[in-house]
Chain A
Amino acid sequence: MPLAEVGITVLWIFLYGYLIVASIDFGAGFYAYYGKVIGIESVIGPVISRYLSPVWEVTNVFLVFFFVGIVGFFPDTAYYFGTALLIPGSVALILLAVRGSFYAFANYGAKKSNLYLLAYGATGLLIPAALSTVFTISEGGFLSVSANTVTLLMEELFFSAYSWAVVLLAISSVLFISSTFLTYYADHAEDKRALEWLRSFALWGGVPTIISSLFVFIALRNHNLEHFDNMVRLWWMFGLSLVSFAIAIWLIWRRKNYGTAFVMVMLQFAFAFFGYGMSHLPYLLYPHLMLVNSVTNQTMGRALVVAFVAGLLLLIPSLVLLLRLFLFNAKYVKGETS
């Protein structure tokens, strides 16, 4: 496999990882706050915070990994996306900063505060919206590129049906992924009451997710026909995604195998996300940036791949340890150990 493809595959896998763990985290923050508003905080709160506490920091790293990696493998992206995305990027950063630090303030600080929880819950929906801008502008048509600068056409972005479809999809996916995971987690904790609530969130969350992904298809057809045609060629990926979704919903509906249901949700997003990514190629940024032209120097690319493999050898066992201690440890999940 040529270096450019190795690079983009590695990065895409990481971005997928971020998509899953961050969705769980963002959605959980939203549900924690929503639970407070409708008065079921004591029911779902403990399950949510027991999951979030040990992993919140890890979630953040996936994102850092991605943006450091993409600049490493494809330095030209720093120029185009970096120049254009100053405002949306900064807004996303500020939201992430508020969210991460207020989580720690609320959980390790001296007292629980509603304000902290609001900051945490609200940002959970705003961040995916801000981050999804990157996908939108990578479709082309939102940048004006001249010899010495790149400008983001804010108005085009704001009045584009495609950009809103992506935002909708981002938010609804966050809520859906998160609720299916928390359903599984509540079942694992044998917390019947939390399970009922989260299960209903999951079932309702599936509807807007599917509708908004249809929107994205239609809007993309109008916005970038070339990409749309590529997607049609990969129709089976999106078909498998839909099948996985159907199995997940069916399992949750029948109240069984919540673990498998969550795996199906992961597959649903894996097929859709990789299908989207593959059909996006050969462009990184349509039509300015091609994958092959923007890849870093060969030596550095190889060094990055070596560093990546070495890093994974270190990280995977540590992550497994983390999961075994907290996610798959029945005693911890049930809240029996301090």
Chain B
Amino acid sequence: MNALDWSRGLTEMTLAFHILFATVGVGIPIFISIAEWIGIRKNDPHYSLMARRWTRGFVITVAVGVVTGTCIGLLLSLLWPEFMRFAGNVVSLPLFLETFAFFFEAIFLGIYLYTWNRFSNPYIHWLLTLPIVIGASASALFITMVNAFMNTPQGFTLEEGRLTNLDPIAAMFNPAMPSKVAHVLSSAYLTAAFLLAMIAAFAMLRGRDNEYNKKSIRLNMMTGLILAAATILIGDSSAVFLAEAQPEKLAAAEWHFETSSRAPLIIGGKLNPDTNEVTGAITIPWALSLLATHHPNGTVVGLNEFPKDEWPPLYVHYLFDAMVGIGFYLLAIPILFLFMTLAKRWNAYNRWMLAGIVAGGPFSLFAIELGWFYAEVGRQPWILRGYMRVSDAATTNPHVGITFWLFAALYLLLGIVCLLVLSRLFRNKPAELELEERRVIL
């Protein structure tokens, strides 16, 4: 492997690891805020305790998110120096703003953690969650802007290999930005809802059948329903956007080679790499045209319109299918849960339902990974679509291989210790015990 492959590998590994914690970091604060607010408003100690326990776990994940975020921030310059020299002129504003948002969040998280009993008016402490929510979501917004810019660069002109006539605002508000940001935020919130519901459902499966866990599941499934629907709708608008602005990415995901109207949607299947024929797939006629243009007769651009050296790897098809599949699973579970709650004939907290909710946690994280891998691998071979290839951006330093293994060891260590600490944190002190200490009768 050469420096380029190692650089790609290290970036993929770092982002894949970071994104798990970053997603949790963006999503969970909203739920902490909601739970604390309901707790104060209804004077319900269950919700207040929920906010406290979630915060405790949240801090651990934030710590790992912060340090891995620092890693990727600096690795950008260490691994892709040519890219940063070239595009640093344009992407530095959103990157800079992201650190401001992060700073803002860090300050208030520190305050929030140590002021649980400081204020006589409980709403003041709750108010502190707002800057955390805003800071977390704003940093996702700004960093996604950078990523969107790499997909649909604009706001500059290229003169003699340098970027001139910059328009930082146009670069930030590039065409890919709205759908990307919306999808990132809604899927992060959705993931948080499922992770939190997963914890409660797991506790119930282990026999801790009580009101605390039920309330947690109910809250997270209700919000999860809205968020899953929103995520799918936004995902749909991203597909429409791709068809228009980055047709090769969508075509690669759908193995759509010939430009045509009434294009079929292909699910699963196997591709013959020589003839580009698809076998064993479920084919839904017209569906791709419908997905891409919202019209069954719409024309969808095929991969053959592009030179072969600008094709993304075609395995992204599977990533796309799996992500969409999980998306619908995450919608089905809350619908089913709501249906069972409303139709009082069934117990909404039966074993199968709980198991389904528990599975939703890892599934949603997995979908985040799949979605990002699709988005990133799908714009190969470009680092800055249409302007700079990944192969021209990598470092020339020959030691990336060593660095890769050093970071691999770091992430392994952090991953294991983080899971250990989290599980010990909650196993040693289940919610029931804590409620008892607070003299709340279940």
B123 interface residue (CB < 8 Å to A) = no
A219 to chain B, nearest CB (A): 27
Decide: A83 and B81 in contact? CB cutoff 8 A: yes
- Residues of B contacting A90 in the complex (Cβ-Cβ under 8 angstroms): 75, 78, 403, 406-407
Can you name the residue of chain A whose Cβ is closest to the Cβ of B93?
A: A303
B70–A97 touching, CB < 8 Å:
yes
User: Could you name 29 residue pairs across A and B whose Cβ atoms are closer than 8 Å?
Assistant: A54-B110, A57-B63, A57-B66, A58-B106, A67-B73, A67-B77, A68-B73, A73-B92, A75-B84, A78-B81, A82-B77, A82-B80, A82-B395, A97-B410, A100-B63, A101-B418, A103-B63, A108-B56, A109-B60, A148-B396, A149-B397, A151-B397, A297-B166, A303-B168, A314-B100, A318-B131, A321-B107, A326-B111, A338-B117
Residues of B within 8 A of A126 (CB): none
Given contacts A61-B103, A101-B417, A110-B428, 7 further A-B contacts (CB under 8 A): A72-B93, A75-B92, A83-B396, A94-B406, A98-B414, A296-B89, A311-B97
Shortest distance in angstroms between A270's beta carbon and chain B's nearest beta carbon? 22
A residues less than 8 Å from B114 (CB atoms): 53-54, 325-326, 332
Contact present for B70 and A96 (CB under 8 Å): yes
Instruction: Determine how close the nearest CB of chain A comes to the CB of B251; give it in whole angstroms.
Output: 34
Q: B111, A321: Cβ atoms under 8 Å?
A: yes
**Majority secondary structure, B binding face:** helix
Report which A residues bind B (CB closer than 8 A).
53-58, 60-61, 63-65, 67-69, 71-73, 75-76, 78-87, 89-91, 93-94, 96-98, 100-105, 108-111, 148-151, 296-297, 299-300, 303-304, 307-308, 311, 314-315, 318-319, 321-322, 325-326, 332, 337-338
**A75, B96: Cα distance in complex, Å:** 13
Of chain A, the residue at the smallest CB distance from B85 is A79
Kindly identify which residue among A78, A97, A109 contacts B84, using a CB–CB cutoff of 8 Å. A78
Assembly CA distance A103 to B131 (angstroms): 23
Contacts of B80 on A, CB cut-off 8 Å?
82
CA–CA, A79 and B73, complex, Å: 15
Measured in the bound complex, the distance between the Cα atoms of B124 and A325 in whole Å is: 14
B164 within 8 A of A: yes
Q: B163 on the interface (CB 8 Å rule)?
A: yes
Instruction: Tell me, yes or no, whether B173 is within 8 Å of chain A by CB.
Output: no
A61-B102 contact given A71-B84, A93-B74, CB 8 Å threshold: yes
State in angstroms the CA–CA spacing of A73 and B425 once bound together: 43
- Chain A residue nearest to B165 (CB atoms) is A299
When the two chains form their complex, are residues A105 and B63 in contact, meaning their CB atoms are under 8 A apart? yes
Known contacts A105-B417, A297-B163, A297-B166; A304 and B107 CB within 8 A of each other: no
Q: How far is the CA of A91 from the CA of B409 in the complex (A)?
A: 12
B111 lies within 8 A of A325 (CB): yes
Q: Which residue of B lies closest to A149 (CB)?
A: B396
A114 CB to nearest chain B CB (Å): 14
B residues near A61, Cβ cutoff 8 Å: 99, 102-103, 106
Q: Is the CB of A72 within 8 A of B88?
A: yes
- Which residues of chain B come closer than 8 Å to A79, judged between CB atoms? 81-82, 84-85
For A97, list chain B residues within 8 Å (CB): 67-68, 70-71, 410, 414
Q: Is B276 in contact with chain A by the CB < 8 A criterion?
A: no
A83 touching B395, Cβ below 8 Å: yes
A-B contact count (CB 8 A): 227
Question: When each residue 47-79 of chain B gets 1 if its CB lies under 8 Å from chain A and 0 otherwise, what string results?
Answer: 000000000100110111011111101111111
CA–CA, A69 and B98, complex, Å: 11
Number of B interface residues at 8 Å Cβ cutoff, please give it.
77
B contacts, CB < 8 Å to A: 56, 59-60, 62-64, 66-71, 73-82, 84-86, 88-90, 92-93, 95-100, 102-104, 106-111, 113-118, 131, 163-164, 166-169, 395-397, 399-400, 402-403, 406-407, 410, 413-414, 417-418, 421, 424-425, 428-429
| Minimum CB distance partner of A338 in chain B | B117
CB neighbours (8 Å) of B59 from chain A are 104, 108
Known: A64-B102, A315-B100. A304 touches B92 (CB 8 A): yes
* A337–B397 CA distance with the chains assembled, in angstroms: 52
Interface contact A300-B93, CB-CB below 8 Å: yes
Within the assembled complex, what's the spacing in Å between the Cα atoms of A253 and B59? 40
Contact A318 B108 (CB under 8 A): yes
A61 to B378, CA, bound (A): 32
A70 and B261 alpha carbons, distance in the complex (Å): 49
Question: Which B residues are CB-close (under 8 A) to A65?
Answer: 99, 103
Bound: A20/B170 CA distance, A: 37
B104 close to A68 (CB less than 8 A) = no
User: In whole angstroms, how far apart are the Cα atoms of A82 and B169 in the complex?
Assistant: 27
Which of B67, B76, B166, B406 makes the CB contact (< 8 A) with A101?
A: B67
**A297–B107 touching, CB < 8 Å:** no
Cα distance A78–B86 when bound, in Å? 10
Q: How far is the CB of B403 from chain A (nearest CB, A)?
A: 5
The smallest C-beta distance from B232 to any residue of chain A, in angstroms, reads 34
Q: Please, how many angstroms separate the alpha-carbon atoms of A299 and B360 in the complex?
A: 46
Chain B residues in 8 Å Cβ range of A299: 166-168
For residue A60, which residues in chain B have a CB less than 8 angstroms away from its CB? 66-67, 70, 106
Minimal Cβ-Cβ distance residue in B for A99: B67
Chain A residues with CB under 8 Å of B78's CB are: 82, 85-86, 89-90
On whether the beta carbons of A67 and B399 are closer than 8 Å, the reply is: no
Q: Decide if A71 touches B77 in the complex (CB within 8 Å).
A: yes
Q: Which of B85, B107, B425 contacts A76 (CB 8 A)?
A: B85
- Known A82-B77, A314-B104: A94·B407 in contact at CB below 8 Å: yes
B96 touches A304 (CB 8 A): yes
